[in-house]
Structure 1
């Protein structure tokens, strides 16, 4: 009996040595594979963390193909969530974590950007009308970690509906380097900077002719106007001084 027990023990050690993942456990004479803990999935652990100060959001390019396999929506932008909770908090969308989804139709299209565990989302509803396309609806939410110890978990929602945002001619792209600040609710705002987008018609999958937003136009044209006004004023003042000096040299004519 003792000899058999020794042989059985040597067999167990032999199996443990040659089979990876098999460990001996003192539970009678049985061999049980060691259970390896499964790493937590990103969806189980991911939660946006609000920051007390702003930072430049990373820029991502998001694409969506239609059923025909052709690109129907393309958007390049940095996205910042601004949460009002006693004070102002900030969260930047990380393009590497974003899942892109939606659909494309002839007159309507949707681009949805979602973070793991549905921790945050941003959805654009596009509409095509005659020779224009625009965003008619924008839906957003974020479920961050509480901003303080003991604070309850909270989800912030925002909505803009029946709008004509970023209206552009079909086949062209809306382009804006200036900030686009969207007030979606009393506690949630969205900042898009910079922003370039195009929907429905993208020849060869590339952006069409860029249409400048009003903010960029004003930034570009106002300094030119101010410069022209300043030059004009300088010329007027200079000519006036020359005229007065010339008159003073002539003196008065005798009667």
Structure 2
């Protein structure tokens, strides 16, 4: 049913107890049904995985080896089942990609990573021998139907307490032939290195492009994530605004657009474990936003480590996706929520930032499904300090005027003699 053709393309640094050199491979994976190929992927991947040891936590970098093979769970789909590509590697590890499609686009709808902590060569000193499975629906690989998805640039996907980094990816699902389509859907990161073609010559004067209307302040939405036993493990109340730079098909240039996330059209999902929590917000089939929170078990402090977005808006020449897994925002204490009523801008990269309003989040230590006492952001504290300072200044001014008046009145009385 399947075959694999691994080959070596480079060298990477793989650290377990220091920095040692290992081979970074590109692997070709195919899922077939009969004599037809339905999924083909040529890619390199590595996995940054944090796990618990007796002395705290440790992070390892695990490459997808050239010896990876396609698992029997791989499928072309059909009868209500999604197409699946499952790559097996090492001692009980697996990477799974499932696909979905509409009339115009197909995408990686779900990424699943399975890693076996009993593999002592990969996870030395792990205090567990469990097989851990994490997954996310915020992947960012979107292409037009009957085209090959291509992304040479490195891109990261946050999944539970791990980060999957892809590079040199050419991939197609729902294939109509036995080889990748020559027509390509190029990822946003690769487009930044190319120049858009000039517009065709015209004998008429083009109408000026409409100026986008500012969307105004977004509405606040309430979102939650529950663990496998139904207990709420992450809470969020926030109003969100996406600020994205992309190449506009109608204007034939890069534009910056600010779009509000609509709570009544947005669903939430995600996952939690002791040291990480993921919240995924999905608005229809066009926008997917993912948050990763990480807990430092030494300081008992958490923060927003990662943000990723996937957008497939009608005016985009290609689906937009970007992510950053080395952020340091929304810092709070274990057992307390984080609150910031003021507007904040969370910069992800040069093409994407997220504006937040009326925000309160708690990714760890939730009690009875409710927010606990909040750590307030510095912006709110500064905003409270300003009226206090102004009030104190006004009170001081009034006091000075009153004292001056009393002194003046006393002097005026002293100028008269009693008869």
Distance 2:394 2:323 in 1: 44
Structure 2 equivalent of residue 27 of structure 1: none
Distance 2:381 2:275 in 1: 29
2:293 aligned to which of 123, 126, 137: 126
Cα shift readout 1:60-93 (whole Å, capped 9, x = no counterpart): 2111111232111111112111234655422222
Given the two structures, how large is their TM-score scaled by the length of structure 2? 0.43
Rate the CA distance shift 1:185–1:105 in 2: closer, same or farther, 3 A: same
Structure 2 equivalent of residue 26 of structure 1: none
Structure 1 equivalent of residue 354 of structure 2: 190
Rate the CA distance shift 1:73–1:229 in 2: closer, same or farther, 3 A: same
Equivalence map 1:82-97=2 (5 Å): 82-84=243-245, 88-97=256-265
Structure 1 equivalent of residue 228 of structure 2: 67
Rg: which structure is higher?
Answer: 1
Runs of 4+ residues deviating >6 angstroms: none
Distance 1:93 1:239 in 2: 55
2:337 aligned to which of 173, 178, 186: 173
Given the two structures, how large is their TM-score scaled by the length of structure 1? 0.68
**Contact 2:329/2:346 (<8 A) preserved:** no
Structure 2 equivalent of residue 218 of structure 1: 382
Normalized per residue, the structure richer in strand is 2
Structure 2 equivalent of residue 101 of structure 1: 269
Give 1:125 shift: 0.9
Is 56-65 or 156-165 further displaced after alignment? 156-165
Greater RCO structure (CA 8 Å; 6+ sep) = 1
Normalized per residue, the structure richer in helix is 1
**Contact 1:156/1:187 (<8 A) preserved:** no
How many residue pairs get matched? 202
Give 1:235 shift: 1.7
Structure 1: runs of 5 or more not aligned = 1-41, 147-151
